[in-house]
Amino acid sequence: MLVDDLKKAFREKYNTDPEFVVRCPGRVNLIGEHIDYSHYSVLPMAIQASTFILAAKSEKNQIHFFNLDKKFKEYTHEITKEMWPGTTHPEWYEYFLAGWRGVLERLSIDIASSKGMNLLVYGTIPPASGVSSSSALVCAAALTTIAMQTGKSFEVVSRSELAEMTAKTEKYVGTEGGGMDQAIECLAEKGIALRIDFHPLKWTPVTLPPNALFAVLHCGVTMNKGATSYYNQRVVECRIAAQIMAKKNGVKNWKEVRTLRDLARLLGNLTPDQMVIEVEKRLEKPADQFYDRKEILQALETNEQDFIQYSLNDKTRDAQEFWIKKRALHVYSEAARVFHFEEACRQGNTVELGKLMKESHTSCRDLFECSCPELDETVEKCLKAGCLGARLTGAGWAERAAVLE
């Protein structure tokens, strides 16, 4: 649908022209799955599929949501003295509210003086399909709110600031993400991928080999990661792995260790390959065995209250089993693959790119357990058909595969 068509639909709905039109692209992650929240580098690129938001000021103290996709219900959010508190089981419009709230907080705008809005939302990013429809809506919402409140855009908040802000505000829909989606959506450049580094946020353009063709295929099933604990469970398992290894290495302030990258830095900026050795040394149980809650408490020499406060999140407070060794092994091996992938791009070595993608999928499937039978079957069919490489992309448990031909 063209922008002119969207403007026409807006006029038909609200009897006025939109004041702003915002577009935010989706993304595909070529390699570096489930490691951004461990603060390791990732290598995604933006895609043409996008989320559009058309907006005009409302005279009422409300935000009215209208989605051209009829399966998303129309909704009106009343702006009151109380800020929208967030949720752990988000409706579609609450992804907008997450970005909206983040901007009000960033710009120190009192909710009572915030402007009402009439919104039309349209997207070509398939929802819950591993190409970041949710984060695209959060980012587009934030930019829409900036425009509506100030009449400006990146003069107020830079692209990198917007990326970091929206990564934080997505916590209001219950997901403890790492920032990859927001970074590529705000920083993408046409025709290239980006290697994105975290803490501090930096990005490096990566030119893909001209003879490499990447395709993104849907396996036929979807999953809303915001409505389950799968994603947050992995975040926590990685954190616990880092904290236990920190404790065993004599780090006194293990409670402040939040990520596996934090741990590598504490141990002398060890490389991901060196950290794989460290995992084998410090986490004695076999990778195919979980640690129960009692074992975690004993390893950390801590109590339930501190464990909940410093290690868990809202969706994992009652979790009893933690697969920490295999999660750490995935993160460190995947982190190494990102840099090998970047080097293979420089060399134009598509065979090596395919090999790394296959290794990534195997690790996601076996160590991180974020695949599903339908995804595995899709990957296998692509490889049998002669593709150089294939792997799941996105959070996993359903959704899409990235394929290199």
Strand 62-67 to 20-31 pairing: unpaired
- Of the three residues 206, 225, 244, the one that is the final residue of a domain is 206
CA-to-CA distance for 231 and 224, rounded, in angstroms? 10
Provide the 8-state DSSP code for 81. S
- What are the average pLDDT values for consecutive 10-residue runs of the chain, which has 405 residues? 94 98 96 96 95 97 97 96 92 97 96 94 85 92 97 95 96 88 95 95 96 90 67 95 97 95 96 97 95 97 96 92 97 98 97 97 96 93 96 77 80
- Residue 102: CB atoms within 10 A of its CB come to 24
Torsion sign, CA atoms 62, 63, 69, 73: negative
153 within 8 A of 140, measured Cβ to Cβ: no
Predicted structure pTM score: 0.91
Q: What domain range includes position 214?
A: 208-405
The model's pLDDT over 3-15, given as tens digits with 9 standing for 90+, comes to: 999 999 999 999 9
For residue 366, what pLDDT is reported? 97
For residue 403, what pLDDT is reported? 83
CA-to-CA distance for 203 and 108, rounded, in angstroms? 28
Coil vs helix vs strand at 401: strand
CA-to-CA distance for 348 and 344, rounded, in angstroms? 6
Q: 291 - beta bridge partners?
A: 322
CA-to-CA distance for 272 and 45, rounded, in angstroms? 23
Q: Are 201 and 342 part of one and the same domain?
A: no
Residues across the chain: 405
The tokens for 306 are: 């501190």
The tokens for 399 are: 């959704």
- CA neighbours closer than 13 Å in the CB half-sphere of residue 215: 13
Q: Are 183 and 213 part of one and the same domain?
A: no
- Of the three residues 188, 206, 224, the one that is the final residue of a domain is 206
In the chain, the number of structural domains is 2
Q: Are 106 and 239 part of one and the same domain?
A: no
> Residue 181 catalytic?
yes
Strand 62-67 to 116-123 pairing: parallel
Q: Are 184 and 258 part of one and the same domain?
A: no
Q: Are 195 and 229 part of one and the same domain?
A: no
Q: Are 175 and 212 part of one and the same domain?
A: no
Output the DSSP codes for 215-276. EEEE-S----GGGSSHHHHHHHHHHHHHHHHHHHTT-TTGGG--SHHHHHHHTTS--HHHHH
Q: Are 288 and 316 part of one and the same domain?
A: yes
Question: Catalytic residue among 5, 36, 69, 181, which?
Answer: 181
388 within 8 A of 350, measured Cβ to Cβ: yes
Helix (H) or strand (E) segment spanning residue 68: none
Burial 194-213 (b: 16+ CB within 10 A, else e): bbbbbeebebeebebeeebe
- Of the three residues 153, 181, 206, the one that is the final residue of a domain is 206
| Residues near 161 by beta carbon (within 8 Å), at least 6 away in sequence | none
CA-to-CA distance for 79 and 204, rounded, in angstroms? 40
CATH code of the domain containing 252: 1.20.1440.340
Q: Are 177 and 253 part of one and the same domain?
A: no
Nearest to 181 by CA among 168, 199, 200: 168
CA-to-CA distance for 311 and 9, rounded, in angstroms? 47
Burial 142-156 (b: 16+ CB within 10 A, else e): bbbbbbbbeeeeeeb
The tokens for 389 are: 């490489």
Q: Are 276 and 355 part of one and the same domain?
A: yes
Q: Are 274 and 213 part of one and the same domain?
A: yes
Listed in sequence order, the DSSP H helices in 260-389 are: 260-266, 272-282, 293-300, 304-310, 324-347, 350-366, 373-384
CA-to-CA distance for 224 and 347, rounded, in angstroms? 38
34 within 8 A of 340, measured Cβ to Cβ: no
The tokens for 337 are: 């693959």
Q: Are 15 and 30 part of one and the same domain?
A: yes
For residue 54, what pLDDT is reported? 98
For residue 225, what pLDDT is reported? 56
CA-to-CA distance for 358 and 388, rounded, in angstroms? 9
For residue 238, what pLDDT is reported? 97
Q: Are 177 and 225 part of one and the same domain?
A: no
Residue owning tokens 């752990």: 88
For residue 74, give the amino acid letter.
E
Coil vs helix vs strand at 175: coil
- Residue 85: CB atoms within 10 A of its CB come to 8
